[in-house]
């Protein structure tokens, strides 16, 4: 009981202080959630359903509670607040109370003194299930006689969570005017995030509330979820982001579930509780990219002008809504691609099935439809006898054009520049000739050249405009250094560096003098979620707003100190305007003067996305305040004897407005290209009767040898007037463009259309033997 006493004493004092566990001491640091330990800390574990759909007849945790290492157990009846994990809807319970809807759904929780005890005790739970009919395929789930999976309050009808549309122009007339029409059905499966660090949180009771430490993207989402399950006001829950080893969307919504689990265990036990998934549990039970079935029909005139597109797609959402309505919406808006098309009809469906709930993944619903629309563009090029890059140039959006949602593009459209730059860098015409020559002389190998062009709506868009805002706090210290506080998180994408650069540029200080404060919801403003490639654009604008206010005060103080009418500030030095910068004084002299004279040295900043206006009945309107664009070109070599495909060379050109940090931006593109290659070629995660069948032993992701021998990355800058220094988003776009370029290159190489991901060797081998169109 001594440990409990220590824990209680720590809690009463206020905020508990973490210590290093033995393993972390060996490492010499405590940065990640799994490195942290607190006095008296327990280890939490979920007891999960082994079946995909069943009614819970009996739940007996007596043997679990009797285990000598177990400190407490939690059933649905023990949850002090609401039994829910709120995301967009409130349909997903923290613990299934009556019905389980997917394999791995939590039905109870336990906390034990050690991880080993937690795992052993979980096996002692006695749960009696009455199995119910299950459905795993979205096309089966939408049928009228399908088992009911969706919680009715969260669905539009039956198992259809959401049905969204775009209706622009007259599609029937457009197809009647078309000289060529191509049709196709495309399928994609799951994609696993494979972040370096698995999901993990620690819940620590504090006086009257709860603190959460965890690996996460959206701390204010987690705060909301924990407050809901504990029945506490938001002010009584604080969330601290620990160093986060990758996210890619997988740590947007899932940490809310883990944090809620740990929180109810900590609330009941009055001790800190750590919940960290091992890799097997992480893969089996957390969100994935939505599998999809996508049907396209595209019409064009003989000269290549697109006249109509008709799309119907189904996303397998899994058992609960989580983020699927937002994922579906982004897929809808991007379904027609970055092209001028006068007649557009799109129907998108997110469908409930008895599978693990899907959620956010880099690209957020757009990669699935991009695979289809870029395949359609290449098919049209074949039918029309046109160069596929020329076909894209002929239809690419420009300033003054209207998107598929009839949004007028008034500025910052660099797609044509990106296409031209990609053509130039790759030597497009020569590249195609070289591939043809190689294929004529090589009997068992084929090379193909693929291209893709994409657009990406930056920010949350018209589906969630209330979230497209950001707050920031900037404070200049007495010694001239600067502290910046935002609620956005760093997870390897370089956000801290970019935000520091924006503050440094605005204030005229050295970037090394800017420090970003740790993210703690009790100490930083809500800057909106760290998603949707919005951090630089929206949070950066908030930082800029605050920094400019401080800059004005510094200049006023400097005029007093220097006795000058105007001053210049750069590199943390100040001098009279028009004077000799070699005689400048350190900024610290001015800031010290400000401190001595009791000047306000801090300022808050605020930014929000430009107004959007979208009609859900027609799908028309201003969907996003600005778009980023990209053109990717891939050269792939296929072994016809084995079906193995290798990306040899790759060119990626992006318009993301002003590039604040070129090195970080290139890193984002390289990483996105790698993930796109994995999505196309190798990342295969089968599901058998709703059970995810895969571990890191069988789920292949790209490694260094899988990357192209030559990777050329460049940027064209079409500045966005409301972005900080003209910047737009970049984080998600590289993955979105890369996979489709690789897919088109494979189709070009083997002379047949790839219609399903991933392009495993056996699939490519069969494709090459059964060609569906002439080369």
Are 626 and 772 members of one domain? yes
In a domain, 645, yes or no: yes
pLDDT at 9: 27
Are 752 and 633 members of one domain? yes
Q: What is the 3-state secondary structure (H, E, C) of 335-387?
A: CCCCECCCCEEEEEEEEECCCCCCCCCCCCCHHHHHHHHHHHHHHHHHHHCCC
Are 484 and 558 members of one domain? yes
CATH classification of the domain holding 636: 3.30.365.10
Q: Name residue 657's beta-bridge partners.
A: 727
pLDDT at 432: 98
Q: Starting at the earlier edge strand, list the strands of the sheet with 445-457.
A: 445-457, 627-639, 645-655, 710-715
pLDDT at 37: 83
Are 713 and 668 members of one domain? yes
Distance CA 20, CA 239 (A): 19
pLDDT at 463: 86
Structural domain that includes position 706: 409-457+622-775
The SS3 assignment for 680 reads helix
Are 734 and 668 members of one domain? yes
Structural domain total, the chain: 2
The two structure tokens encoding residue 205: 């009771």
CA–chain centroid gap for 345, Å, is 27
In a domain, 421, yes or no: yes
Are 483 and 570 members of one domain? yes
In a domain, 65, yes or no: no
Question: If you count DSSP H runs as helices and E runs as strands, how many of each does the chain have, helices first?
Answer: 20, 32
Segments of the chain scoring below 50 in pLDDT:
1-30, 772-775
Could you read off the pLDDT of 214-263 as tens digits, one per residue?
999 999 999 999 999 999 999 999 999 999 999 999 999 999 999 999 99
Are 582 and 534 members of one domain? yes
The two structure tokens encoding residue 73: 């157990």
pTM: 0.94
Are 590 and 673 members of one domain? no
Of 247, 233, 264, 235, nearest to 200 by C-alpha is 247
Are 720 and 697 members of one domain? yes
CB 477 within 8 A of CB 591: yes
In a domain, 754, yes or no: yes
pLDDT at 27: 32
In a domain, 202, yes or no: no
CB 139 within 8 A of CB 313: no
pLDDT at 582: 82
Are 422 and 545 members of one domain? no
CB 241 within 8 A of CB 216: yes
Domain boundary among 608, 643, 661: 608
Q: Name residue 237's beta-bridge partners.
A: 210
Tell me the DSSP string of 121-140: HHTT-EEEEEE------HHH
Distance CA 234, CA 223 (A): 7
CB 64 within 8 A of CB 70: yes
The SS3 assignment for 238 reads strand
Distance CA 427, CA 731 (A): 27
Domain boundary among 576, 608, 640: 608
In a domain, 666, yes or no: yes
Helix (H) or strand (E) holding 507: helix 495-507
Helix (H) or strand (E) holding 554: helix 540-562
Are 603 and 627 members of one domain? no
Are 749 and 650 members of one domain? yes
In a domain, 218, yes or no: no
The two structure tokens encoding residue 180: 């060529």
Helix (H) or strand (E) holding 211: strand 209-214
pLDDT at 734: 98
Domain boundary among 548, 582, 608: 608
pLDDT at 31: 60
In a domain, 443, yes or no: yes
């Amino acid at each position: 009981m001594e440990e409990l006493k220590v824990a209680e004493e720590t809690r009463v004092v206020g905020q508990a202080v973490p210590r290093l566990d033995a393993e972390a001491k060996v490492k010499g640091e405590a940065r990640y959630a799994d490195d942290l330990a607190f006095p008296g800390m327990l280890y939490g574990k979920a007891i999960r359903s082994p079946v995909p759909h069943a009614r819970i007849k009996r739940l007996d945790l007596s043997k679990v509670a009797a285990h000598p290492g177990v400190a407490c157990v939690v059933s649905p009846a023990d949850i002090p607040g609401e039994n829910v994990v709120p995301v967009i809807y409130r349909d997903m319970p923290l613990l299934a109370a009556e019905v389980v809807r997917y394999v791995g759904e939590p039905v109870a929780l336990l906390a034990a003194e050690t991880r080993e005890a937690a795992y052993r005790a979980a096996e002692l739970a006695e749960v009696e299930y009455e199995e119910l009919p299950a459905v795993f395929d979205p096309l089966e789930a939408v049928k009228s006689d399908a088992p009911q999976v969706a919680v009715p309050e969260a669905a539009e009808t039956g198992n259809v969570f959401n049905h969204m549309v775009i209706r622009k122009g007259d599609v029937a007339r457009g197809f009647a005017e078309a000289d060529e029409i191509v049709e196709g059905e495309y399928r994609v499966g799951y994609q696993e995030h494979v972040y370096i660090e698995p999901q993990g949180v620690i819940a620590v009771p504090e006086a009257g509330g709860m603190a959460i430490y965890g690996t996460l993207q959206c701390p204010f989402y987690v705060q909301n979820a924990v407050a809901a399950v504990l029945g506490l006001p938001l002010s009584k829950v604080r969330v601290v982001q620990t160093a986060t080893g990758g996210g890619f969307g997988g740590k947007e919504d899932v940490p809310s579930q883990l944090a809620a689990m740990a929180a109810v265990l900590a609330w009941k036990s009055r001790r800190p509780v750590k919940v960290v998934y091992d890799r097997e549990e992480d893969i089996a039970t957390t969100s994935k990219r939505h599998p999809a079935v996508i049907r396209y029909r595209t019409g064009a005139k003989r000269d290549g002008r697109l006249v109509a597109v008709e799309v119907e797609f189904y996303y397998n959402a899994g058992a609960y809504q989580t983020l699927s309505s937002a994922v579906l919406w982004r897929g809808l808006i991007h379904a027609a691609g970055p092209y001028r098309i006068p007649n557009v009809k799109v129907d998108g469906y997110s469908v409930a099935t008895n599978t693990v709930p899907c959620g956010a993944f880099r690209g957020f619903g757009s990669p699935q439809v991009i695979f289809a629309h870029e395949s359609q563009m290449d098919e049209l090029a074949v039918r029309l006898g046109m160069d596929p890059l020329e076909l894209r140039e002929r239809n690419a959006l420009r300033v003054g054009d209207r998107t598929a949602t009839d949004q007028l593009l008034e500025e910052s459209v660099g797609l044509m520049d990106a296409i031209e730059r990609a053509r130039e860098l790759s030597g497009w015409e020569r590249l195609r000739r070289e591939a043809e020559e190689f294929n004529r002389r090589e009997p068992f190998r084929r090379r193909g050249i693929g291209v893709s062009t994409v657009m990406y709506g930056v920010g949350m868009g018209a589906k969630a405009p209330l979230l497209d805002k950001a707050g920031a706090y900037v404070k200049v210290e007495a010694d001239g250094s600067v502290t910046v506080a935002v609620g956005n998180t760093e997870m390897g994408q370089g956000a801290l560096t970019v935000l520091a650069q924006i503050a440094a540029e605005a204030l005229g200080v050295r970037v090394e003098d800017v420090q970003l404060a740790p993210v703690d919801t009790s100490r930083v403003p809500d800057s909106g979620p760290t998603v949707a490639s919005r951090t630089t654009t929206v949070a950066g604008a908030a930082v800029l707003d605050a920094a400019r206010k401080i800059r004005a005060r510094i200049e006023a103080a400097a005029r007093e100190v220097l006795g000058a009418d105007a001053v210049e500030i750069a590199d943390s030095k100040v001098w009279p305007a028009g004077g000799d910068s070699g005689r400048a004084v350190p900024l610290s002299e001015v800031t010290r003067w400000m401190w001595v004279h009791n000047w306000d040295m801090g300022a808050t900043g605020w930014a929000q996305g430009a107004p959007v206006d979208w009609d859900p009945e027609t799908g028309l309107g201003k969907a996003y305040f600005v778009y980023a664009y990209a053109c990717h070109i891939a050269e792939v070599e296929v072994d016809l004897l084995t079906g193995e495909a290798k990306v040899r060379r790759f060119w990626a050109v992006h318009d993301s407005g002003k590039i604040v940090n070129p090195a970080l931006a290139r890193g984002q593109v390289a990483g996105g290209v790698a993930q796109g290659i994995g999505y196309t070629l190798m990342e295969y995660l089968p599901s058998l009767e709703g059970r995810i069948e895969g571990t890191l032993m069988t789920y292949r992701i790209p490694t260094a040898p899988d990357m192209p021998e030559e990777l050329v990355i460049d940027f064209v800058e079409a500045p966005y007037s409301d972005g900080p220094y003209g910047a737009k988003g970049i984080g998600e776009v590289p993955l979105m463009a890369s996979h489709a370029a690789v897919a088109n290159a494979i189709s070009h190489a083997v002379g047949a259309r790839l219609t399903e991901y991933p392009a495993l060797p056996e699939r490519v081998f069969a494709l090459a033997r059964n060609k569906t169109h002439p080369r």
